[in-house]
């Protein structure tokens, strides 16, 4: 832009900037092309550090690529859950999947959030500072009772250690390490993250017959559009999708 206009881009008015971006868009065919995208990002950064908020507002939005989430099969979830040797690590995986928790939500779990009588888990201050309740399975409750009796934590359900050796909440890095190690020992080839287990939770609930609004509430989504993403990966409908090869070579 500086070479084109022979001046600093910060000296250009709104009309000049938009005209230049229009030329780039037409030259590179798609607005997601790398040159166009990085020009917009560069301008955003320049305006931000120059405190030119009024110029930031007029810049076009860059559409993110629409990627579908990685979802594990039920068999793969079982493989992952049995991979760790420590009960604590298996429970971390079981809560990420069985309750659809975000990584930071699991780290923030306290003993007071466990309601074994009602078989519910209280997720406090999730994304958007919203609370919600999610069901606990009998299997999770058995494992948690065994773990709590053995470890006897005081406040946090899962703890790590700081440099002084005092118990602190399990870190998000610690949770990610547990997931990485479990994937490595399970033999699963898919790229598995903490959020993959949440994606699998939502998809499996839909496939098992739970309605989309209930799934939205369990996930703590503010917008139903976010939850609707899982309809693209869940195998729903009157007839399960199949490959034509199955019918072509049907015995």
Q: 20 pLDDT band (50/70/90 cuts)?
A: confident
What per-residue confidence (pLDDT) applies to 34? Answer: 76
Tens-place pLDDT, residues 45-74: 998 888 888 887 778 877 776 788 899 999
Which residues are part of the catalytic machinery? 102, 127, 195, 198, 221, 230
Residue 141 has pLDDT above 90, yes or no: yes
All structural domains of the chain with their residue ranges: 2-57, 74-232
**Residues 129-154, mean pLDDT to the nearest whole number:** 92
DSSP designation for 104: H
Residue 111 has pLDDT above 60, yes or no: yes
Class (C level, CATH) for 74-232 = mainly alpha
Q: Where are the beta strands (DSSP E) in the chain?
A: 114-115, 120-123, 132-135, 159-161, 167-169
Distance CA 80, CA 78 (A): 5
Give the contacts of 105 (CB within 8 A, at least 6 positions apart). Answer: 123, 126
Tens-place pLDDT, residues 220-234: 988 888 888 888 888
Burial of residue 161 (CB within 10 Å: 0-12, 13-18, 19+) is exposed
What per-residue confidence (pLDDT) applies to 67? Answer: 80
Give the contacts of 158 (CB within 8 A, at least 6 positions apart). Answer: 88, 91, 92, 106, 107, 109, 169, 170
Q: 99 pLDDT band (50/70/90 cuts)?
A: very high
What per-residue confidence (pLDDT) applies to 98? Answer: 94
């Amino acid at each position: 832009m500086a070479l084109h206009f022979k001046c600093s881009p910060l000296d250009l008015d709104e009309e000049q900037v938009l005209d230049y971006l229009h030329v780039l868009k037409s030259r590179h065919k798609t607005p997601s092309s790398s040159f166009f995208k990085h020009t917009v990002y560069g301008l955003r950064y320049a305006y931000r550090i120059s405190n030119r908020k009024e110029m930031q507002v007029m810049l076009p939005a860059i559409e993110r690529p629409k990627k579908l989430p990685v979802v594990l099969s039920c068999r793969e979830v079982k493989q992952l859950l049995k991979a760790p040797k420590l009960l604590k690590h298996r429970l971390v995986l079981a809560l990420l999947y069985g309750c659809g928790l975000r990584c930071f939500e699991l780290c923030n779990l306290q003993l007071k959030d466990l309601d074994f009588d009602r078989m519910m888990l209280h997720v406090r201050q999730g994304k958007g500072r919203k609370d919600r309740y999610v069901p606990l399975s009998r299997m999770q409750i058995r494992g948690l009772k065994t773990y709590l009796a053995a470890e006897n934590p005081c406040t946090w359900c899962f703890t790590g250690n700081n440099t002084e050796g005092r118990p602190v909440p399990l870190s998000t890095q610690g949770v990610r390490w547990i997931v990485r190690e479990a994937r490595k020992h399970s033999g699963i080839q898919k790229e598995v993250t903490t959020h993959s287990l949440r994606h699998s939770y939502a998809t499996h609930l839909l496939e098992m017959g739970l309605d989309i609004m209930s799934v939205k509430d369990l996930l703590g989504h503010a917008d139903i559009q976010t939850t609707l993403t899982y309809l693209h990966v869940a195998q729903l409908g009157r007839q399960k999708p199949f490959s034509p090869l199955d019918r072509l070579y049907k015995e």
